[in-house]
A = this chain, B = another copy of it.
Amino acid sequence: MNGIKHVCIVGIGLIGGSIGLALKEYSPGIVVIGHVRNAPAGSRAIELGIVDMAEQEPAAAVSQADVVFLASPPAAIKDNLQQIAPFLKPGCLVTDVASTKMSIMKWAEAYLPAAVDFVGGHPMAGKEVSGMEAAEAGLFNGCTYCLVPGKDCSDHGSDLAEGLARGLGGRPLFLTAEEHDEAVAGISHLPLVLASILVRATTDHRKWELMSQLAASGYRDSTRLALQHPAMNRDICLTNGDMIKVWLDTISEEIARFRELIDRGDPGALERAFEEAGRARRTWWEGYAKKSPR
């Protein structure tokens, strides 16, 4: 990683922790500093081999860093940017890993000094468990790694972000914040909101006690995303609410269409609808599995 000596990770959870582990494994020689909220978190991150040292003060955490990864929940990134801005080294790259980009690009433009580069980032990888204990170096292997360069980002900054995404094991994909937020609202935020909606609709039902005994692997998989961190989901809704609402409207229309199909009871039309969905799902999966060995 051409010339990078110090990397700071702000927020050591599943993603931040996995970045640390991947850097230590794939790019030995880089010094990784964790910016943590309290001493025990810092000690644990060092124990787990995620960081070389931990700092609670922004100045101490970022002033030497060539690259700063912001790995807090989306809404916290606003504060992070304001806190670290005064202490950043000129010419350094700041990037994040949040699952929404439009709000974050605006905050970065508002709070970061002109002398630093910002590239919004979003590795399309995760697990339903959170926290640094679940971190793993291979989390990003083969994943699509979205990159959104800031308005005034230098070519050097973009190249560096691309190299880092690749260095972590990802496949970099440059796109705009709008493109990102619309697409991710459909394939990630909508599914997680739907999972929570499905859990609420079923577990609130007067017959849930019986239903809970019948629910099995299908229910388990359909509702797995409801286990994601509530604060993370909250921030996703707060920072990408407009796109999610459009997708919820699309789903409501599709539900109405499907309800009509069931109402009509035409066996051929019903089978075709399920066949088409199955085929589209298989086509996607074949492409995904080819690219992502995990």
Q: Once the chains are docked, how many angstroms separate the CA of A203 from the CA of B226?
A: 22
A165 to chain B, nearest CB (A): 14
Picked from B188, B196, B210, B274, the residue with its CB within 8 Å of the CB of A179 is: B210
The answer to whether residues A263 and B280 also contact, given A201-B251, A214-B124 and a CB cut-off of 8 A, is: no
A238 to chain B, nearest CB (A): 6
Tell me which residues across on chain B come within 8 A of A186, comparing CB atoms.
201-202, 205, 207, 211
Q: Once the chains are docked, how many angstroms separate the CA of A249 from the CA of B288?
A: 33
> Is A231's beta carbon under 8 Å from chain B?
yes
> Is A290's beta carbon under 8 Å from chain B?
no
Give chain A interface residues in 254-277, CB to chain B under 8 Å: 254-256, 258-259, 261-263, 265, 267, 270-277
Tell me which residues across on chain B come within 8 A of A258, comparing CB atoms.
193, 196-197, 248
> Is A230's beta carbon under 8 Å from chain B?
yes
Asked if residues B200 and A273 are in contact (CB atoms below 8 Å), the reply is yes
A255 to chain B, nearest CB (A): 6
Say which one of A13-21, A82-90, A107-115, A217-225 lies at the interface with B: A217-225
A15 to chain B, nearest CB (A): 13
